[in-house]
Amino acid sequence: MLYITAIAGVFVNSNRGVCFMYDVVVIGGGFAGVRAARDLGKSGRAVLLLEAHDRLGGRTWTGQFPQTDVQIEIGANVVVPEYQPEWRNEIDRYGLELISPPPPNPADPVEYRTLVQGEYKDHFPLPLYEVGEAERALYVLRDAAARIDPTKPLEDQDLADLDVSLAAFFEANKIAPATGELLGAYATGLAGARPDEISTLHVLEWIRGYGTNPAFFFYGLRNSLARGTGGAIEKMVEDGGFEVRLEAPVAAVTEADDAVTVTVMSGEAITARTAIVAVPTNVLDRIAFTPPLSAEQQEALAQKHPGREFKGWMLVKPLSRPVSCFGMSTFQILRTTRRLPEGDLLLGFGCNGVVDDVDLTDHASVQNAIRRHVPEAELIRYVAHDWVADEWINGSPRVHPPGTGQSFAGIMEKHHGRVSFAGSDLSRHFNAWIEGALWTGRVAAERAEQILAGND
């Protein structure tokens, strides 16, 4: 293609006639892509964001529970601005309001059902002789997390011994069985993969991020946004002044010396001076890159990550008491969130491949999964999205498989000419959290500015 002029965001003459060249095309409209587009739009760049779905937000999705006025998050909801600076900035910038769950009601006490070693406990879940061991386990995790220096790339640190599965780490550190099972159940519910599938280093990075305090996960993940993650995306889009096209999945990204051509699956070709690819790593191989990604990147992407967390909002006929269930079951975490006139609204986090699998499209299958914890539950209706079956996502948040936690971000961050990558899956900061998506969006936008200024 012969460009007579290649001035940013203007009409240019090519050998195919007059066409518009954007400064930046952003591919993928989750928090990473929207953040990058917002930053670049605000600095006056001509930006087009292409999103495959018919909505923005990606693995965040604010909705309403059917036939109620209850706002729900079908994907991410927890934000932790005290440890997450990118979120802190967004919250301050747009005056976003935070909410936390109401305190327990002493007149309607919660019934705790914790599954450990095949039995439900309604009181302290560990054998008393394991109490000291449980405390030791938290110190083991804390001390291991403290070895991570967040100011240096993971691959430059002596951490290979931690890039083993959580199951292997527990075994090597002789974590007592019931304690290991409970910690493993929590990690499974949070990450959407079994302890034998998760790199310990990945979990330790989160612990390091949350004040090097493993106990934080049990009490600190409380706040969400009053107007939902969708409210934050709306503000960023309104503010950014960039163009958005929905239902525009990208098939190919082709680089030339002075421009990038992005081809949408409909066949339309769009040109820009630089592009940011912010799609989940499990679907990155659906985009054909010319020149191709490096052999190292292709190899890293060929191993799809096993994150397959599902989250369900389920209305059941009124229970005698609110419940809080926990343990290695189909839902590792299941609790009452609201007692509505029609019934109790339960929120569950689970992962297939632990006990029996749940088919999220089937009412009876979801009811069976709930009944493992709450045998008396009668499901009325529910909302859940299968993030693995979603063709443009194919997984929940990234879970680094053992042996990849130390290297993945560094491999993916290697520059690819005029194309940069973003997304929580490949973040060095709060990988797999929205915070990581926001961080990579900022970094990719900064690199795009350098390219546009001719400095990269």
Ligand X SMILES: Cc1cc2nc3c(=O)[nH]c(=O)nc-3n(C[C@H](O)[C@H](O)[C@H](O)COP(=O)(O)OP(=O)(O)OC[C@H]3O[C@@H](n4cnc5c(N)ncnc54)[C@H](O)[C@@H]3O)c2cc1C
- Would you list which residues are annotated within the binding site? 51-52, 250, 349
Instruction: Supply 296's token pair.
Output: 């190292």
Q: Draw the binding track, 297-336, toward ligand X (x: CB under 6 A; -: no contact).
A: ------------x-x-------------------------
For ligand X, which stretch binds (CB under 6 A), given 75-83, 97-105, 193-201, 203-211? 75-83
Point out which span in 51-59, 117-125, 150-158, 372-380 binds ligand X (CB under 6 A). 51-59
285 vs 342 by CB, closer to ligand X: 285
Contacting ligand X (CB under 6 A), which of 9, 22, 25, 33?
33
CA distance 267 to 87: 37
Token code pair at residue 426: 């490949």
DSSP secondary structure, 242-271, as one string: -EEESS--EEEEEE-SS-EEEEETTS-EEE
Least distance between ligand X and beta carbon 131 (Å):
30
Q: How far is the CB of 282 from ligand X (least distance, A)?
A: 9
Q: Is 192 left (phi over 0), alpha (psi -120 to 50) or beta?
A: left
Q: Does 215 bind ligand X (CB under 6 A)?
A: no
> What single letter denotes the amino acid at residue 206?
W
Show contacts with ligand X in window 164-193 (CB under 6 A): none
| Shortest Å distance, C-beta 109 to ligand X | 26
- Please, what is the minimum distance in Å from the beta carbon of residue 396 to ligand X? 4
Token match 């089937």: residue? Answer: 362
Which residue, 373 or 398, is less far from ligand X as judged by CB? 398
Q: Which stretch binds ligand X (CB under 6 A): 102-110, 266-274, 283-291, 358-366?
A: 283-291
Report phi then psi at 261, rounded to 5. Answer: -110, 125
Q: From the list 50, 166, 314, 374, which residue makes contact with ligand X (rule: CB under 6 A)?
A: 50
Least Å from the CB of residue 277 to ligand X: 8
- Taking every pair of Cα atoms in the chain, the longest distance, rounded to a whole number of angstroms, is 79
Compute the distance between CA of residue 206 and CA of residue 420 in angstroms, rounded to an integer: 25
Q: Which of 309, 307, 328, 316 is nearest to 370 (CA)?
A: 316
Residues 404-443, interacting with ligand X (CB under 6 A): 423-424, 432-435, 437
Dihedral sign (CA 236, 242, 245, 251): negative
Q: Does residue 373 interact with ligand X by CB under 6 A?
A: no
Q: Is 39 in the site for ligand X (CB under 6 A)?
A: no
Nearest C-alpha neighbor of 335 from the set 325, 327, 349: 325
Residue from the set 77, 188, 200, 282 that interacts with ligand X by CB under 6 A: 77
Annotate 330-360 with b (16+ C-beta within 10 A) or e (fewer): bbbbbbbbbeeeebbbbbbbbbbebbeebeb
Summarize as ranges the residues that interact with ligand X (CB under 6 A).
27-33, 50-53, 58-60, 75-78, 249-250, 278-280, 283, 286-287, 309, 311, 387, 392-393, 396-397, 423-424, 432-435, 437
